[in-house]
Chain A
Amino acid sequence: MDYVLQTNEVSKAFSGKMAVDHVSISVKNGDIYGFIGENGAGKTTLMRMVCGLADPTGGEISLFGSRDLVSQRYKVGCTIENPALYPAMTAMENMETQRLLLGIRDKKVCSELLELAGLCNTGKKKAKDFSLGMKQRLMIALSLLGNPEFLVLDEPTNGLDPMGIREVRDVIQRLNESRGITILVSSHILGELEKMATRYGVISHGKLVDEFQANELSTRCGKNLVIHASDPQRVENVVNEMFEDAECMRTPENSVRVKGHVEDAGRINKILIEAGVIVNALIPEGDKLEDYFLRLMGGKVYA
């Protein structure tokens, strides 16, 4: 089976306003699918529809190649928005409610998952006394009950400190690598997504504006070559002579930024030396996911 999740022209309207507008995404088996969008773009609404918490007003969703979603959802674990826990219960008691719901007989699985989430030593501490990071990790442990093949995580790093973000990221990567779980994860912290996602979907104002593999990011993001040299004017002249399409601009540090031609760095270096220019550094420079996202949203990357 190639695709774990496919949405075909899925829409959701609230009071006539389209929150999700004909979105078609495909999450392949083994992917960590980074779902990106500004606040109110429709990420959570789409995830809620995937998890059966809201009905689409149009389009179709298929899970594991089947449109019988109810029967397939036992293979899906999810955390949507804030951690949903019983505050007066301990971590183990919260796990027990879900274990009984899923009809899992082996009681040991709860302690194993708590250990995986780094929560095995919480004892009688109630969930209401947990830090946000602990709550997020408990939610991930809860969603792992029943050995799901697909995890839907809506902003699992929201509100966490850098340490908490790293802990959650490590758990997600471990689950993907060691257990082969496919993950659909949304986050505002694009730098974090960039560190783990293998595929991206970008949604804006309810519409999917781009979907691509992680290795396609470099082709989507602009790549430049920054040349630090003794004579910037000479550098510009040499580069303009070398390439008809050359676009050079001066940086505030008086270096030369050449649009594209990263792959020509060696040749540029050789010709500059032959032209008597002292080259101090040739640095490939590219947009990060955040820059690309901002560009897609119409924001400016370089001020």
Chain B
Amino acid sequence: MLNIIKSDFYKLKKSKAFWVCTILCVVFAVLMVTALNVGMNRALANLDSGDPEMMQMAEMAENISGISALQEFLPMGFNIIFIGVFVAIFVSSEFGYGTMKNTLSRGADRIKVFFSKFVVCSCAALVMLLAFIAAMLAAGSIAWGFDPTGIVTFSGMLGMISLQSLLVIAYTALFVFISMTMRGTGGAIATNIICVTMASTLLGAISMLFGGSINLSDYWLEWGLSKFAVMSPPSGDIIQGILIALGWGIASLAAGTTLFKKIDVK
């Protein structure tokens, strides 16, 4: 197992997709902060116009900081999209290039191969998450200061990052499962993006079809992204979020390994 992981980490180091997606996470974070800053300055300059959107922006500008920008943008899941794209390229290309054959033909256990991909992709996903958070905090702090209102505590920050990391790892498990099952880069990228951008809406629509007594989107990973983007979320939300992340993560790994054991590799 350790040898498979070492080999996968070497491939990660050499993977252009990883470095490009990580840089894009950073660029996207900085761009969003810059765009928000420009929008707020424009709103402050046009306070007399009476435009409700401008008024709202101007109101927001009074309390904005690096940390509040992070709390605003994390639930949108832009970094998760980049993680989904990276995992699709990194995992599916093994089938596209045929290099998975080189691994399996030397007697590597298929479950270990799957878990190795999951471990390495999770590490990459965490690097991308941390890069996104660091870039957003740095850009936000330069623009508005890190935390002028003093809401940040070390434990609160650590808790927020840990819970977001848990969700990112659960998303990664799902992305690895999709990519290993689809084995085509294009299809895997499309499906992973749909999982991030449309799954919540789809689950909401399905809930409506069945009467709306249970909202299925409350059991989807995206639910946790917004609930965990605060310093100290309610304990009920923490438990529900952890259960959702574990549930999706374990289900993805179980389904992925079961399917991967059965497929013929070409």
Contacts and interface: CB of A to CB of B under 8 A. Distances in A.
Interface of A: 48, 51-55, 69-74, 76-78, 80-89, 93, 96-98, 100-103, 142, 146, 152
Contact of A70 (B11, B103, B107): B107
B101 A53 contact: yes
Contacts of B266: 48, 53, 81
A88 B11 contact: no
A96 B103 CA distance: 13
B105 A97 contact: no
A253 to B, nearest CB: 50
Interface in B60-98: 97-98
A54 B263 CA distance: 7
Given A80-B105, A86-B14, A142-B102, 20 more contacts: A48-B265, A51-B105, A53-B265, A54-B264, A55-B262, A74-B107, A77-B105, A80-B98, A82-B98, A83-B98, A84-B98, A84-B101, A85-B97, A86-B11, A96-B10, A97-B10, A98-B106, A100-B7, A102-B3, A103-B3
Contact of A76 (B11, B16, B105): B105
Interface of B: 2-4, 6-7, 10-11, 14, 16, 97-109, 262, 264-266
Interface of B: prevailing SS: helix
A169 B263 CA distance: 33
A101 B7 contact: yes
Contacts of B109: 70
The 7 residue pairs across chains A and B that have the minimum distance between CB atoms: A73-B107, A84-B98, A101-B7, A51-B105, A54-B264, A100-B7, A103-B3
Contacts of B3: 100-103
B104 to A, nearest CB: 6
Nearest to A127: B97
A85 B98 CA distance: 7
Q: From B3, B4, B16, B98, name the one whose CB has the most chain A CB atoms within 10 angstroms.
A: B98
Contacts of A97: 7, 10-11, 99
B6 A100 contact: yes
A93 B15 CA distance: 12
Given A89-B14, A100-B6, A78 B98 contact: no
A52 B263 CA distance: 11
A276 to B, nearest CB: 67
Contacts of A52: 104-105, 107
A88 B2 CA distance: 24
